[in-house]
Structure 1
Amino acid sequence: MIFGGALALSAAAPLALLPHATRAADGALGLDNLTFTLGGTIYRIPHLEMKGASLPAQDVLALFTGDTKNIEERLARFTAKSVVIPTLSTERKVGDATERASWRDLVVDGVAGGRIAALRAAGAEQTVERPAGEATRYVWGASQARGVDLRQLVHVANAVRLDPQEALKPMIEEESVDSLAIADKDARMTMKTGRLVMTGVKARALLTPPSQLFERIGRLDPDKTEADPTLLKDLIEALASFDVGAIEARDIVATGKGEPADKPYTISAGRFAASRIAGAGVGDVALDNFSLQSSDGGRIAFTRFGLRDAKLASLLDAPIPQLSHIELKGLDADLPDGRISETSRMKFNITDVEANFADFREIAPTKLSARLDRLAIDLAARGEAPSTAQFLALGYRALDLSAALAGEWREKTQEAVFAPLRVEGRDMGAATLKVTFGNVSGAVFSSMALVSKAAALAASVKSVELTLEGGGLIDRLLALEAKQQKGGVEKARAEYAKGADLAVAAVLGGGDKAKKIADAVSAYIMKPRKLMVRLASEKGINAFDALARKPAELLEGMEVEAAAER
């Protein structure tokens, strides 16, 4: 909630300053000197005016000062045409920090049965102060909310959930803020946003009181997580106590002091959105038109980053959350690379990359697919870097790569199949690999590392098929070799073909199956159109077989196919 709970949270407990009620000639009810505490937060309302109240003055006053035990019941009987609050301030301690906030010109329209039809505020300011003068300041623009259920707000703030199956109930239909500005003195950072919107908020009481969670978060030391080992579990449970239909923020811009200090960094995003937030998970997340301009002159930008079906509860067993989809579109990067030289740059862009994960078993997916469309790397911009020198020598000023991956575990046959694993390079060629593993039990997906590693060692390779297409890279290698040796390309090609024949024989032996592979490889070098090599073993070869036997011995026990397009 941005500010929608401010009035509801006023239905609180212990009286600190003596309040009083007055009735105006037009029947309007005025309440003064309201101070109360809820969930560790102190609320102060110097004055409010209420019209069309359904309860007597003393009963209305009791909403703010009475015992919280029956507050939900009293709110259920509360009806008013309008409530006007010129100022409302709050204060609370979180760890060693003090948070203070002040709302201006709150106007409530249509309270019926403890439910607000509409709520507006002209704006708000909040500060978070820490020892040694550190401070963060928030300035909220005009705010609006509708469909605010005071009873549910108070229930969530006050109660501790006793029933594990307690249902989530509607709390806020929609809430929005026209703008937000943040200035962090300690981090030397400022941020501004355009409109913020949140819709469809449901909630239930937490198992751990919110005030205790805030205190524990305030004391958290990232370098000593063992000091509160259950905090992550409790935070995830708290998140699971809220459902939100959608959250959206637009026109986000942050600037700050980097290194060097006189060159600030800038981060911007056109839109951030999240929807179907439930059960400590998020159905969809999108970040559009993102850009980072760093202090060292680097820049990285993308048109879209997205996630789908992210489950934060999986963080209890794995280092990253479980999700079904991730994508990145229109990435463009230009970064300095001082390790090479002052002028060296890392320039690259990606047209599209995405990955899909399905049918999770414990912490890992049993089905996945991924693709990378056009990773373009500017080799010339890096200068004389060792990693790019060979490609530059071959005449590549840039690399343009695409890739694809698909895999599936088949429980019925206890097989894991990866098909295809494909990499394609512009003016290079393409390589496609298909691999089938046998004896793959469900234990390989265990969250226990010892169990999953043992299961992986028990698996065996049943078949491997490699296909090479095109010969752009081979042709350039041969041209470079010919240039260095001051000979002809065809002579270099023949020598490479002969060398490949000898290399295969040295590794795989001189048997008929090894010779079939060697002949195919040599023929592909002579005419690099298409090469296919397939190795298969009905029994399979596991890690222990690979360690105990020589490659030539393993090959003799396998089916071998090898052919080159001539």
Structure 2
Amino acid sequence: MRLLHRSGVCALALLAGTAALQFEPAVVPDLVVGSDGRHLSVGAVRVPLWSAALAQTPETFSLENVRFGFGSATYEAKRIDLAGVTSSRADIEALLSSSSSQPFAERLAKVSARQISIPELRVRQTIGPETQETTHRNVVLTDIVQGRIGQASAETTGAAISDSRTTFSVSYGRMTVSDVDLPTFTRLYETKASDASAPLARIHGAFSIDDINLVDKDGASIKVARIEGRDFMGRPTKDSWAGTTELFAQLGAKDDLSADEEARFVSVLAEFLTAFDIGHVEASGFELKDVSEGSTGRIRRLAYTAATGSQPADARAEGFEVADKNGAVRIETLSLTGFSIKPTLEALKSTSPEALRELDPTAMRALLPTLGTLRVAGIDIDTLNKDEGRKPDRVKATVREFEFTADQPFKAVPTNIRLGFRNLAMALPAESQEDGIKDLIALGYQNLDLSFMLAASWNEVTSELTLREVSAEGRDMGSVNLTGTLSNVSRDVFDPDTAVASVALVDAKAKSVDLTVQNAGLFERYLDKTAKEQKTTPESLRRTYGTAAAVAIPAIIGNSDQAKTLSQAIARFIAKPGRLTINAQAKDPNGLGVADLMTLTEPADALRKLNITAKVE
């Protein structure tokens, strides 16, 4: 019996000892740290009893009632659990020390752990009049090595954003982000940059957010199925990110800004916008709804890819649609490639706040961004036109593609231009009173299908401006195409001083011009309509117009060989409309300039300075 008694006592002692070792005493209560706009308070640091008793470096410990403030943001967590901690006890104590002289980023760089879990994290941030309160649930950080997080995730997130005018709520599904460099991220907020052009540092790798829902107090809502991206980059600003954010908050709280404050805000904003970039980000499955307006919208995909080496920056929207009770507008693809606002931001950064208030033409031109190429494809419009004073009518139109290119800038002026659209198609309103539309209907057209293109570029080496294309085309109408070359277009044409630019432009010389006219039905329709009005036949009109061209053109521009060549070609084209091609070359290899034309008294004199060829097919 005595043996059983002793065995029972030992067993109870073992159970009690095991329970005691699982107990987590508070080894550091009520910790408060604060400096340089940053504060940290911890209600208690709890470690397993055995670690506390033996003064060991704990592999597992918990922080309770944690509150961390940085700039205008405050983070709160009732409990943070750390497991698999491999950092030394001294490093952990230094992280939470109020007397450490090390920057916080350096202390974070000494933290390594297998996992950090936060059941609930609350964040409150104020920027100007706007306040954002966010709650993240089940936050888990894994594989932390020297402050760098292998992966961070949150199961769900809810946020409320409000200002003096409105309030809206946001919720997210699962969020993940990989390769988070926490020390580098912290340096952005606590470090003031000595060099505003320092290279961007990588803050984190890939990230994703699922099931985003945004609803405002009036019932308007936005849903996004998923946002994902990679490679967020950043560098410190002159006042640090914390200081810059605080400045935005101060200025945003004011109803009116002075001229100095406006200039300072623009300058600081420009610096901040150049202090970060992202390699790629895209969002898919947009759904927008406005209950009060009865309108809806969808975007299949939004994406942005930063410029890398020879690859230009690219932003695009795909599958865009807006609809209400009156109709809908759809765009299949909208893209902007090769754009850059860097010239604008760099100019703003290097211009003092005082100089921003009074910009001269040179400084204003330096603020121009590089547009690149804007393309809009698959435009489909079907809606009501409700112009005041008119009966509503249905507007239906489609555009296959619209393009605008403005790049290769010289002195901030684009030297490569391309502007045009293809297949603008629409039905002509039968009851329209517009003169041009009435005339087309009278010619028998019920629908229009038009295309237009203008393309030109300047070559600095040859000082030539090439008109690559000026064309217009209509289905069942015909087409016109013009090309040409101007020489002696010097760099001074792009001078900000308009007087200098004007003088330089006068020195430009035309070297060659090519014109092609293709008939595809417009001429015949015109003859039929005019013949009916004049009570004659189209063939009679054709002979009359052809004869008139052969006689009238030489009478106007002279009887030179060039005039005869031109008039005979036009007359043959009228007699049998097909394809007319005219080429004019300056006899002087340097071209024919404005100054040359100003000395001429008759049109015939100009023709004598040209070699003209023309043919009809």
**TM-score class, shorter:** 0.7 to 0.9
Offset at residue 78 of structure 1 (A): 0.3
The aligned counterpart of 1:6 is none
The aligned counterpart of 2:362 is none
- Decide whether aligned partners of structure 1 residues 381 and 481 sit closer, same or farther in structure 2, where only a CA change above 3 A counts: closer
Matched-pair contact (CA < 8 Å) for 1:208–1:234: no
- 1:247-287: per-residue Cα shift (whole Å, max 9, x none)? 01000111226xxx5x42222111111112579x9712221
Match of 1:138 among 153, 167, 170: 170
Q: Across the two proteins, how many residue pairs are aligned to each other? A: 549
Matched-pair contact (CA < 8 Å) for 2:430–2:441: no
The aligned counterpart of 2:27 is none
Match of 2:73 among 41, 52, 70: 41
**Match status 1:78 vs 2:129:** no
Equivalent-residue separation in structure 1 for 2:534 and 2:550 (angstroms): 21
- Where do 5+ consecutive residues of structure 2 fail to align? 1-33, 51-57, 348-364
- Decide whether aligned partners of structure 1 residues 452 and 75 sit closer, same or farther in structure 2, where only a CA change above 3 A counts: farther
Equivalent-residue separation in structure 2 for 1:383 and 1:503 (angstroms): 36
Q: Equivalent residues in 2 for 1:373-412 (5 A)? A: 373-380=422-429, 383-412=432-461
Equivalent-residue separation in structure 2 for 1:453 and 1:220 (angstroms): 45
TM-score normalised over the length of structure 1: 0.85
Match of 2:398 among 300, 325, 349: 349
Equivalent-residue separation in structure 1 for 2:313 and 2:108 (angstroms): 34
The aligned counterpart of 1:3 is none
The aligned counterpart of 1:7 is none
Letter in 2 for 1:202: M
**Match status 1:303 vs 2:332:** yes
Matched-pair contact (CA < 8 Å) for 2:188–2:240: no
- Decide whether aligned partners of structure 1 residues 14 and 303 sit closer, same or farther in structure 2, where only a CA change above 3 A counts: closer
The aligned counterpart of 1:167 is 199
**Match status 1:333 vs 2:381:** yes
Which secondary structure does the structure 1 equivalent of 2:580 belong to?
Answer: strand
Equivalent-residue separation in structure 2 for 1:217 and 1:299 (angstroms): 40
The aligned counterpart of 2:186 is 154
Match of 2:516 among 442, 467, 488: 467
The aligned counterpart of 2:473 is 424
Q: Equivalent residues in 2 for 1:534-549 (5 A)? A: 534-537=583-586, 538=588, 540-542=591-593
Q: Equivalent residues in 2 for 1:71-470 (5 A)? A: 71-131=104-164, 133-185=165-217, 189-210=220-241, 211-212=245-246, 214-215=248-249, 218=252, 228-229=262-263, 231-256=265-290, 261=292, 263-276=293-306, 283-294=313-324, 297-315=326-344, 317=365, 321-339=369-387, 341-354=390-403, 359-369=408-418, 372-380=421-429, 383-446=432-495, 452-470=501-519
Matched-pair contact (CA < 8 Å) for 2:37–2:71: no
The aligned counterpart of 1:555 is 606
Structural RMSD (CA): 3.5
- Decide whether aligned partners of structure 1 residues 138 and 434 sit closer, same or farther in structure 2, where only a CA change above 3 A counts: same
- Decide whether aligned partners of structure 1 residues 226 and 89 sit closer, same or farther in structure 2, where only a CA change above 3 A counts: same
Equivalent-residue separation in structure 2 for 1:223 and 1:516 (angstroms): 69
Equivalent-residue separation in structure 2 for 1:489 and 1:42 (angstroms): 84
Match of 2:43 among 10, 19, 23: 19
The aligned counterpart of 2:537 is 488
Offset at residue 88 of structure 1 (A): 1.7
- Decide whether aligned partners of structure 1 residues 292 and 151 sit closer, same or farther in structure 2, where only a CA change above 3 A counts: same
Matched-pair contact (CA < 8 Å) for 1:12–1:36: no
Equivalent-residue separation in structure 1 for 2:342 and 2:198 (angstroms): 19
Which secondary structure does the structure 1 equivalent of 2:545 belong to?
Answer: helix
Letter in 1 for 2:460: E
Offset at residue 117 of structure 1 (A): 0.9
Offset at residue 337 of structure 1 (A): 2.5
- Decide whether aligned partners of structure 1 residues 389 and 361 sit closer, same or farther in structure 2, where only a CA change above 3 A counts: same
- Decide whether aligned partners of structure 1 residues 403 and 222 sit closer, same or farther in structure 2, where only a CA change above 3 A counts: farther
Greater alpha carbon shift after TM alignment, 519-528 vs 492-501: 492-501
TM-score normalised over the length of structure 2: 0.79
Equivalent-residue separation in structure 1 for 2:509 and 2:254 (angstroms): 46
Greater alpha carbon shift after TM alignment, 336-345 vs 418-427: 336-345
Matched-pair contact (CA < 8 Å) for 1:36–1:65: no
Equivalent-residue separation in structure 2 for 1:509 and 1:369 (angstroms): 37
- Decide whether aligned partners of structure 1 residues 226 and 250 sit closer, same or farther in structure 2, where only a CA change above 3 A counts: farther
